[in-house]
Amino acid sequence: MDIISMRSISKDEITSLIDLAEKIEFRSIDINISDRLVALLFFEPSTRTAFSFDTAIKRLGGKTLLMQEAKSSSVQKGESFADTIKTVSQYVDAIVIRSAVEGAARYTSEIVDIPVINAGDGANQHPTQALLDLYTIKKRQGTVENRKVAIVGDLRYGRAVYSLVYGLAKFNVELYLISPEHLQIRPYVRDELDAMGITYHQGDDISSVLEEVDIMYVTRIQRERFAGQYEYEKVKDSYQITRDMIEACNLKENFTLMHPLPRVNEITTDVDSLPCAHYFQQAKNGVYMRQAVMATLLGAV
C-alpha cells in the first residue's frame, strides 16, 4: 500500500487511521517497528513534515535515513532520480518523499517494491497533511461529518488544500472557498465536487463567512509557486486574520482556526493565544497521525 493522493484513500481507510491515531495518542495500543528503517527524502524544504515523520518513526521504535537536499547525494554527480530512488529502496522498508515536481511520489511508487508516502509533490497533493487535519477536526469537533469549512488563501497552488478538499468531501461537508480571483481552486476540482454532490460557495471575503463556519482553514500565499515576484506581490497580502477581527465576531461555540503552517502574515501572532487557534496543536497531531500511517503501511497493526 502507498499513500499518494487523498483521491484514492477511502472514507473507511481515513476513519481507521483517525481511530488508530487516537489510540496512539492516548496510549491504548502498543506498536513496535524496531526492526524497520524508513528513508525520508526531502528534495524541497520542510520543518513539520520531515521532523514529524522522523519523530513518529522513532517513537514507534523504528529508524530513519534523512536526505534533506539532492546535492548531498550522487544526483550531484549526474545520477538520475530513478536510479537514486531504486538504490535507496534496496536499503529501507519504506520511502517518504517530498519533491517540487508534481507526480514524483506516484512515479516513485511505480519503480520500487516498498510502501511510498507522498510528503508533498509540487502544487498537487500532501495527503498526510490532510489526514492530520481531519484528525484535528475530529478531536476538536467530535466529528468531521456535516461540518461547515472555510478554506482561505492560495487555493490554486496549495497542495494541502487539494488533499484536504478531497478528504473533506468524503464526509458530506459544506465548503466556503475564499481566495483572490487569480488563486481560485482549479475548475476540475469544482466539477468533481459537483459530481460528488458537495455544496460549496466561492468568494473573496473572509468576514462574511467567519460567523457561518465551524472551521476556518487558512493557507499561505506561496511565493515559491509563482512565475515571478510581480505576480506574487499582487496577491501576497490578500488576507490577514487578526485578534480584533476574531473578537468582533459572534463565532460558533467550537469555532476552530487551522493552518497547515508555515505562516507568513496571514494570521497575526496575537491570535495564537485564543482558544480557537489550533495550528500548533494541529502540527502536534501530525506525529500521532504519521505514527498511524507508518504502522499501517509497515503492517505493524
How far apart CA 131 and CA 246 sit, in angstroms, is: 26
> Which residue shows C-alpha cell 506574487?
232
* Annotated catalytic residue 290: no
Q: Stretches 57-65, 205-213, 218-226, 254-262: which one binds ligand CP (CB under 6 A)?
A: 254-262
* Annotated catalytic residue 242: no
- Least distance between ligand CP and beta carbon 225 (Å): 13
Q: Is 260 in the site for ligand CP (CB under 6 A)?
A: yes
How far apart CA 139 and CA 144 sit, in angstroms, is: 9
Q: Is 56 in the site for ligand CP (CB under 6 A)?
A: no
How far apart CA 130 and CA 257 sit, in angstroms, is: 15
The three cell numbers locating residue 95: 520511502
* Annotated catalytic residue 48: yes
Per CB under 6 A, the list member of 48, 190, 201, 263 interacting with ligand CP is: 48
Catalytic residue among 7, 23, 48, 225: 48
Determine which helix (DSSP H) or strand (DSSP E) holds 40, and give its type and residue range. Answer: strand 37-42
Instruction: Report whether 52 contacts 287 (CB < 8 A).
Output: yes
- 129-168 positions binding ligand CP, by CB under 6 A: 129
Q: Is 47 in the site for ligand CP (CB under 6 A)?
A: yes
Catalytic residue among 36, 98, 170, 290: 98
Instruction: Report whether 221 contacts 182 (CB < 8 A).
Output: no
Nearest to ligand CP of 94, 130 (CB atom): 130
Q: Stretches 14-22, 76-84, 103-111, 255-263: which one binds ligand CP (CB under 6 A)?
A: 255-263
* Annotated catalytic residue 77: yes
Q: Is 46 in the site for ligand CP (CB under 6 A)?
A: yes
How far apart CA 210 and CA 36 sit, in angstroms, is: 45
> Which residue shows C-alpha cell 538504490?
87
Catalytic residue among 36, 126, 139, 259: 126
Nearest to ligand CP of 47, 87 (CB atom): 47
Q: Is 264 in the site for ligand CP (CB under 6 A)?
A: no
Cβ-based neighbours of 222, under 8 Å, separated by 6 or more:
154, 157, 158
Q: Stretches 5-13, 18-26, 47-55, 171-179: which one binds ligand CP (CB under 6 A)?
A: 47-55
- Least distance between ligand CP and beta carbon 4 (Å): 16
The three cell numbers locating residue 161: 488544500
- Least distance between ligand CP and beta carbon 20 (Å): 21
- Least distance between ligand CP and beta carbon 12 (Å): 25
The three cell numbers locating residue 144: 468531521
**DSSP states of 115-128:** -EEEEEETTTB-HH
Nearest to ligand CP of 20, 40 (CB atom): 40
**b/e burial code for range 239-253 (CB count within 10 A of at least 16 → b):** bebebeebeeeebbe
* Annotated catalytic residue 182: no
Cβ-based neighbours of 294, under 8 Å, separated by 6 or more:
33, 38, 53, 56, 57, 60, 62, 94, 300
Q: What would the x/- binding string for ligand CP be over residues 96 to 135, using CB under 6 A?
A: ------------------------x-----x--x------
**Coil, helix or strand at residue 57:** helix
Enumerate binding residues for ligand CP (CB under 6 A).
46-49, 120, 126, 129, 260-262
Residues taking part in catalysis:
48-49, 77, 98, 126
